[in-house]
Amino acid sequence: MRPTIGLLVLSAITVGTGLASAQSQVKPGDYPQNASFLSRRFLTDSKNAAALTDDFLYQTDKLYKVPLLFPNGGLLGSTGVLDHPPFAVQIFLDHVNAYENANGVTFTLMPYLNGYSLQDAAHAAKLRLDLDNPAVRAQIVAECGRYVSADVPESYVKGSRREFDGIVLDIEPAGDPAFFASFKKLMAEIRVSFDGMGLKNKKIGVAAPQHTDKTPKPNWGWNSSDYYYIARYVNDVIAMTYDSGLKDEAQYRSWLSDQTTRILQGVSGAAWNFDAAHPKATNGVRVLIGLPGFYTLTKAHDPNVENVAHGAPGIFDGLSVLKSKDLTSLSYFQGATMYTHDGGTADSIYARYGTDWSWWRKYWLGQ
């Protein structure tokens, strides 16, 4: 069932103790460096990858202004090896390259590899990743290299007209302290591998869980310290700001505003007033805040509540608060991320042209 959405007007707002005046409002269209997660079909569906890619490139370039694309690169098994090769990679990359050359645009392409941590009780133990095991981390590092270099053994991009610009890791749940320590090791090892291949320009991103202040910390969340320290290892922090469990549109908007400010202040160091232990991040890390574009109804996610039309104003609320009182944290913000696209059809469980992307244009771009 599709929600009925009325026009949401940004006004002077109060979030926590921060007041955003009308003069400090961040408005739709202010941040064009946005991203979208793409379903696995773009890199595995050899029959339809060309049509899917051509259609989405036109839409995202001409209508939605989303230059960062994160196609699903596959599921990591317990040994750190992908469950199966991405059969349509060359089709995808060649069609992106052709579009870029024909239209004078450049996309940033970073496939994301997902997996299950040891704390994921929903999946069998044989599917979970023990990142404390150096051999498992080494396999994951190798899989990342196959996406960014044509010169490594079993490269996925060999023969393509362009390579990927980096990699994104999404391993969940990620809140356990022991897992987090191993996860940081993995990020550092990927960076060393890329640099060792002469690929210092390749980016590393992390799909980050929602911010939480709960004690003890739940497995599904990161606190400000987690955000601060992971930001030292990566180029892009991509927040999965959904699955709030909220059933009210206004509450979700307020929650997403709070997530925006908390995450940015955690990454920047402002959560501790930039004390001696938390100086400003200087590695160029940027933050993307997520807007859900999927229609799976669960206890944690109601698509009638958690969607672009309700979430985009919440992000702007949070950014407006930072604009009024914390420009340093605001400077780490890059844009929003749509979760996720699979062809845009009306019956897809993922982002649809007639709803999600139309809302995106209206509430995020102001068009």
**Cα angle vertex 209, ends 268, 128, to 5°?**
130
| CA 329, 108, 46, 136 torsion-angle sign | negative
φ and ψ at 206, to 5 degrees?
Answer: -130, 130
Site of tokens 């921060």: 18
Q: Which residue type, as a one-letter code, is found at position 308? A: V
- pLDDT < 70 stretches in the chain: 1-23
* pLDDT tens-place string over residues 301-326: 999 999 999 999 999 999 999 999 99
Decide: 211 and 266 in contact? Cβ < 8 Å: yes
3-state SS assignment for residue 288: strand
Domain ranges in the chain are 26-364
> What is the CATH architecture assignment of 26-364?
Alpha-Beta Barrel (3.20)
What is the distance of C-alpha 276 from the center of its chain?
30
| Cα–Cα distance, 216 to 194 (Å, whole number) | 36
Residue 126, pLDDT score: 87
Cis-peptide into 3, omega within 30 deg: no
Give the up-direction half-sphere exposure of residue 137: CA atoms within 13 A in the CB hemisphere: 18
* pLDDT tens-place string over residues 278-304: 999 999 999 999 999 999 999 999 999
Task: Report DSSP state, residue 86.
Answer: -
Residue 268, pLDDT score: 98
Decide: 213 and 255 in contact? Cβ < 8 Å: no
Task: Report DSSP state, residue 125.
Answer: G
Helix residue ranges per DSSP H, the chain = 41-44, 49-58, 89-103, 134-148, 177-196, 224-230, 249-268, 308-325, 327-330, 356-359
Global confidence as pTM: 0.93
Residue 24, pLDDT score: 78
Give the up-direction half-sphere exposure of residue 218: CA atoms within 13 A in the CB hemisphere: 8
Distances in Å between the Cα of 280 and the Cα atoms of 115, 171, 285, 332 are: 31, 26, 11, 10
